[in-house]
Structure 1
């Protein structure tokens, strides 16, 4: 009953307020034409109250205030008694204009006003309740309450109308002339200042509006105390990289000030050791981090996110002003551009995705100047900056510039087209190449790394679609639905998400017959077709995957189109009005059936479109509305639309939950158990590992400054990926994500892991040959760090080898064990080593069977298992063997689910295994998994439980257990260490050195991932470095004592520096020559 009383009070206040507004309006402005401009503001006010009330009702009472759509109300599927009251009030004032216009001119003013208001009320009520206009039904707490809708509405409406009408009629006075003069004088001063300083005024207005919109759009984030740091990628990647880059820049500046120009290019805290280019991202804004202390890095990250949005709007402004478009429409639409779905969905997650929105407009300005005025300097400069920042988006922008150049050429040149075309192409190509040279210092090292990764072609993953010509039958409709929906994103990153005004703008644009707009119409049509063809996404992604990240080009195109028609929306022709209404009606089934998985989103999307069309029709009905009033109305609606988009996406859509809390990011690293690794005191080079690196913590070594083995990076050394795949390791989940070596004793030793951390209760997660080092604890768990009793040096030697081709024929467990006895090499790199025997390794490995002991929510069949509920379990039983390390071998395991993270546990062990759909991007293309069950010093049966978190079907072909004896392990390690690298020094930038004495010719393998950037020097003479043991580096050494030095230079860096230096010098010379030519021309 309390809720019923609240709703009743809301109804009374609403109806009474509407009547009061009407009464005051009619008294103050008795003529209809005088009321028109006021009506529009009241309409907008009630429209905003409508959305606000929906949100408030949802938060306070749990009632879905937005779940009742306009069209469903009209068709009597539902009735909107709550938030719909405000929309009803808005429609009343919208309908008052045409209602009053239908009355006879000779009718008395007072009577005209009353009839006009009455017509509006009745029309609005009938519009919203249709056949049951007399009754309005409220559903509260599961109970139905019926009220006399028209009666209640009429009573309180007219009560408010007459009360205010009578009281204000007597008090209505004409505004003093002096005030009008003062107001007019103030407007004149503002207008004069704006004419004198248009850019300054624009910047003030744009900046103020931008800051307000940032607060409104991200209000959910602000109220939830969330940072703009995405848990999935920003937390483990972008934030650590930014923090590391700032530290690197500060250290580099200090080093150079002290005369040391040997800057760091390699760091062992990056995964198992990587080039700094893997984490130092050369985004121009990131260089500001040199001035920011570590304690403010989270604030700085948020600042950079907002700064990029701000710069994107300025870049769009620059293009529009270059094309001589009006200031105010440009400013308003720049907000549409900034807060489009591309930025709000993708840009907020991946900061670099905002960069092309900045560079594309500037590149097009520069290209346009080159085509029309033959000025090459600006074009080369922005190509260089784009290349320096990110070559991937420059590649996409290059395609866009090619299309743009053809259209602008056709518009600019009318004579000698063939000659001018080839001359233009030569200028563009040469200028483009000059820009590429200027950015080569960043591009060449990056492209070398990319080519040395599994990201090129994604050869291990299939293209995630049936063909490259068409996605699916619903795709065209889904793209149209996603055009004005921000929280609904069609598959393959097809983020559009504009305000609803984009639909009327498109209708008007395509109905215009201006010749200069034909090229843009063609581009928009081509872009829509491209969104329907998978091959376009494949090509625009560098022929690596199906992704429409190029959709920011559509964002730019449609935003510019809206600027072109912005003023046309206030003066529509009859045919434009009719077609706009038809399109609006047709959009309902598109929203209804294309966004079928989110009813609230589909209804809100259509409702915003109806609001946009009502506003435009209302403005077109008003005869005396000024341009400034029109701009204000449109800006208000866009603000409301963006507020709704932000709310629907981040709050109702649940996206806010995927972002980190302010102040929690650095603390999360510093309070994690991985901090205990920094307490280790050891002067030797070593690495650390743990039984299961958690998501978000793969790059913790980078933040806390220790040498680990985990890594999360867009580009990972393909040797590392192949190493894990060959060994069926569960320590890797994708081509860009490595967690650990799964406590596999041999792999931990070969990786130079000297310290290992486990949860205290999970002793079975510990590799063989480790003893307790120290205990630690957090609020949640207790941990123990163990020390390797048989650690290998960073450089260990072999006197035997296994040919790579023979190695590939072995099973995963055989590959692991053979590397303890012989180096895996290509035959061409072998000089004087004996060939190893793989049979002795294979003969020592034993195999056993597993049985199904218990299931809970799992159906087990001969070739598959089906999880019928969340957190279902499958328990297997096997026999442990004393003195052996046991492994569970699963072959043919696949799933159609995108990703399943299952838990594997025993009484003394717990770890995770990630199973991915091999048809999707970044998958490893694997179906075999080797899970370490740990070393046992007893022979007994043990249960292994799989916990599957979701409903899923998992296929498999075979499951068994293999046993690796550990009795030879110590002797194998001692043999590798017998003549290993001693007196190892790694404290000098980009260098590893040590001494070794050999009794015979051997090959030395370094536990450093292979890279062409490493050069080896033995006794001062360079020797060849080759790939060994799939992932690591090796060199040949002869008998005797040697001084071994490894030095690293970023591959491609020196060539890139020379190319950039040459490009910059040429650009400066051209700039000087251009300036002199200009001065000579002026004289």
Structure 2
């Protein structure tokens, strides 16, 4: 009777799951939008990456500029750089039909939509594992507003993975339980398309999930079904190749993906506080990104270490681990907790990379959410006590330990400080919020004992109040760390630089001094300051060799003033209200003069601006370049072009290369042998670098000389760029400060030309002497066509498969996997 009643429950719970989370998200988002005049601003990466990336990608697609993005750093493969952030997101594509000016206003509504769909997707997975589907609705909200999800509002593009993951698991269960064909292929396709980084981690999880399901006898292994499942996985993966293959090609040169863990670093975390950080993330809402508070020295400030279950915390998770001696979910949670605490196992979810990230914790969160709602659905007073009291004790111990532990203050006069949190005020706010959640949890337990028919309603009301309060508290706490106030972002960044009246600002490169990241991207003008992780490997190599740190952003300081000439920078923008302006700023770099103030910025013009595209009259090898002190590399690159010895020989008529001249070039340097600070001392080899002088006056002279031998015109095009160059001398190599990439092809006067990688990462082509040359560079995204072919073949193969096996039709009735025997007690029927 009870089973029939449950099966006949036709209420639209899926709609409830979406709308409940959507309305809670509206409570979180709309006040911020009202405060920010229709925009949704947060802080950090959210403001300076997510918003401008959306608008830049939107405009590039609308303008047909989907090959090379000259607005991304010094230039980048558009698909390769933005597939990680926006191009695989269906939410981004919703904005493409809209006008460009509308895009920043869409961010808030899209966040609400994402949180609503995260709840829906979690519901679709969890509903199979509970008696009453209404508890799966609670699970959806817990997942959508988990510590991981709220933390990663900071990384707006992470929610696509949060949404897709439960659907991937639901599809796998559906394949095994109802024999429905095609759902796994579509889920794999969606997972691989929305974000390749998260897809790799999801593949690792699904393999573990599948094996543990077999061990737990939740799945039955049949060879035929295994091969059909494998086919669907391959087909879904193949369909994603249109976007995935060029994306993989774009990141292969990025050194960050090839750094691995070794030795003790693979076994234990070098920072002991990280273990406490992981523990805290499960019992408290967690620190805001970039601001470790509970564990200030744990590192991993942007690593998404967050796994908090709203209100209930670890109550029902601990109860499940204590009382369910066997079972699939107990095994999975224990495996994942062990993997979280072992560096090499943690890194498995991110291609074994040595950078610490916990960006797979949403997987752990989903399983902890599931066992939480299972416990609510099948409430057991004894199990509740087994989980609640340990959770409360651990929470109080951590609170007292961090909040009241004395610490020496590092001051001339020693004094004791109570509490080891970075910000005591914020720490206690989070502690109070957590304790309030536990109090509400105890009230729910009390309601179950005294007024059982109110149990579900009280749970829903309590959870709604807690989620709305805790997420709002977290949001506004994090917003207080914005490095620029909202008024600045709205008036001077989001306005697109509309008050800038420079006629050529979109045709030349600019520089930004000590202001918000990606300001040039907001204005959509070429510039050399960029906060963007996915850029060509050649660009990273160039900056590495010139002495500028290039990890997640390009921010060359004014000490590297020679780069401004090399990279054809004409304007410098500095915030008008800075105390150092304008008098001191005029001397930040040689050759600049104050022009005027517009759009909240003082504008300085480079009197020694070198137009894009110029020739050298001197050439050196990479060995000579490397041997010169790195702090003058930026000036050396204005004196001579850097080539490999093979290139020196290939263009011997230009470089003056002879076998005898470079015969005694010493490739290995003895670290014990004294070297001159500015030029090498080779045995039997006299490098021209020994004749160079590195100072500001010679920099200006070098810049003037190169300016005389620069292109008369240079224009960015939808396909790449084109230029005109008058060469009054002999044949030469024409240099462009644009990153080298395999996708480039070039013609000079209509004839195909070889593109050379010079100056350790940039480009040059040969131009004939005594003539005016028309140069055209065209960019074709590497492996895009091959990816399209593979995707097309995969689509056809899947279509044939679905026809043969009558795809999307269930051969068995949908059923939930809870145990009926556990639900026969009278006290449980009353729920």
CA displacement at 1:311 relative to structure 2: 0.7
Matched, 1:737 2:553: yes
Contact kept, 8 Å, 1:372 with 1:412, in 2: the verdict is no
2: CA distance, partners of 1:222 / 1:771: 40
Contact kept, 8 Å, 2:277 with 2:305, in 1: the verdict is no
Q: Give the match's secondary structure for 1:369.
A: helix
Alpha-carbon displacement from aligned partner over 1:650-679 (angstroms, at most 9, x marks no partner): 45x45455398778644331669x666x42
Which residue pairs with 2:777 in the alignment? 1046
Contact kept, 8 Å, 1:743 with 1:765, in 2: the verdict is no
Which runs of 5 or more residues in structure 2 are unaligned? 288-293, 404-419, 575-580, 659-676, 678-691, 813-831
1: CA distance, partners of 2:516 / 2:385: 54
Matched, 1:713 2:532: yes
Q: Tell me which moved more, 709-718 or 607-616.
A: 607-616
Which residue pairs with 1:761 in the alignment? 583
Match of 1:338 among 136, 140, 144: 144
Contact kept, 8 Å, 1:684 with 1:984, in 2: the verdict is no
Structure 1 residues 600, 1079: CA separation in 2 closer, same or farther (over 3 Å shift)?
A: closer
Structure 1 residues 222, 632: CA separation in 2 closer, same or farther (over 3 Å shift)?
A: farther
| Backbone CA RMSD of aligned residues | 3.9
Q: Tell me which moved more, 277-286 or 424-433.
A: 424-433
Matched, 1:1035 2:728: no
2: CA distance, partners of 1:454 / 1:286: 28
2: CA distance, partners of 1:315 / 1:401: 17
Which residue pairs with 2:508 in the alignment? 686
Match of 1:775 among 576, 596, 599: 596
Q: Give the match's secondary structure for 1:531.
A: helix
Which residue pairs with 1:91 in the alignment? none
Which residue pairs with 2:363 in the alignment? 553
CA displacement at 1:328 relative to structure 2: 1.0
1: CA distance, partners of 2:67 / 2:619: 32
Which runs of 5 or more residues in structure 1 are unaligned? 1-190, 253-262, 838-888, 890-961
Which residue pairs with 2:255 in the alignment? 454
Match of 2:104 among 295, 298, 301: 298
Alpha-carbon displacement from aligned partner over 1:73-123 (angstroms, at most 9, x marks no partner): xxxxxxxxxxxxxxxxxxxxxxxxxxxxxxxxxxxxxxxxxxxxxxxxxxx
Match of 1:592 among 400, 408, 429: 400
Match of 2:268 among 457, 466, 469: 469
Structure 1 residues 316, 1027: CA separation in 2 closer, same or farther (over 3 Å shift)?
A: same
1: CA distance, partners of 2:695 / 2:393: 73
Q: Give the match's secondary structure for 1:802.
A: strand
Which residue pairs with 2:62 in the alignment? 250
Structure 1 residues 542, 325: CA separation in 2 closer, same or farther (over 3 Å shift)?
A: farther
Contact kept, 8 Å, 1:228 with 1:659, in 2: the verdict is no
Q: Give the match's secondary structure for 1:1047.
A: strand
Alpha-carbon displacement from aligned partner over 1:845-869 (angstroms, at most 9, x marks no partner): xxxxxxxxxxxxxxxxxxxxxxxxx
Contact kept, 8 Å, 1:797 with 1:977, in 2: the verdict is no
2: CA distance, partners of 1:683 / 1:600: 49
Matched, 1:792 2:610: yes
Which residue pairs with 1:198 in the alignment? 11
Match of 1:632 among 457, 481, 506: 457
Structure 1 residues 551, 236: CA separation in 2 closer, same or farther (over 3 Å shift)?
A: same
Show the 5 A alignment for 1:43-62: none
Q: Which protein shows a greater Rg? A: 1
Structure 1 residues 358, 650: CA separation in 2 closer, same or farther (over 3 Å shift)?
A: closer
Which residue pairs with 1:821 in the alignment? 639
CA displacement at 1:511 relative to structure 2: 4.8
Which residue pairs with 2:543 in the alignment? 724
1: CA distance, partners of 2:257 / 2:533: 11
CA displacement at 1:317 relative to structure 2: 1.1
Structure 1 residues 220, 661: CA separation in 2 closer, same or farther (over 3 Å shift)?
A: farther
1: CA distance, partners of 2:802 / 2:644: 52
Matched, 1:266 2:47: no
Structure 1 residues 753, 317: CA separation in 2 closer, same or farther (over 3 Å shift)?
A: same
Show the 5 A alignment for 1:408-419: 408-410=213-215
Contact kept, 8 Å, 2:736 with 2:763, in 1: the verdict is yes
Structure 1 residues 495, 1012: CA separation in 2 closer, same or farther (over 3 Å shift)?
A: same
Contact kept, 8 Å, 1:481 with 1:594, in 2: the verdict is no
Match of 2:520 among 701, 712, 731: 701
Aligned residue pairs: how many?
Answer: 729
Match of 1:445 among 246, 249, 252: 246
Which residue pairs with 1:435 in the alignment? 236
TM-score (norm 2): 0.78
Contact kept, 8 Å, 2:318 with 2:386, in 1: the verdict is no
2: CA distance, partners of 1:192 / 1:522: 32
Match of 2:320 among 485, 497, 509: 509
CA displacement at 1:1040 relative to structure 2: 5.4
Contact kept, 8 Å, 2:213 with 2:219, in 1: the verdict is no
Which residue pairs with 1:494 in the alignment? 305
Higher relative contact order (CA 8 A, sep 6+): 2
Show the 5 A alignment for 1:19-418: 197-199=10-12, 202-203=13-14, 205-216=16-27, 221=32, 228-252=40-64, 263-277=65-79, 278-279=81-82, 281-282=86-87, 283-323=89-129, 325-346=131-152, 348-372=153-177, 375-410=180-215
1: CA distance, partners of 2:47 / 2:55: 11
Structure 1 residues 228, 528: CA separation in 2 closer, same or farther (over 3 Å shift)?
A: farther
CA displacement at 1:350 relative to structure 2: 0.6
Contact kept, 8 Å, 1:591 with 1:606, in 2: the verdict is no
Matched, 1:752 2:568: yes
2: CA distance, partners of 1:767 / 1:479: 46
Which residue pairs with 2:663 in the alignment? none
Contact kept, 8 Å, 1:757 with 1:786, in 2: the verdict is no
Structure 1 residues 193, 484: CA separation in 2 closer, same or farther (over 3 Å shift)?
A: closer
Structure 1 residues 722, 1077: CA separation in 2 closer, same or farther (over 3 Å shift)?
A: closer
Structure 1 residues 222, 965: CA separation in 2 closer, same or farther (over 3 Å shift)?
A: closer
2: CA distance, partners of 1:250 / 1:536: 43
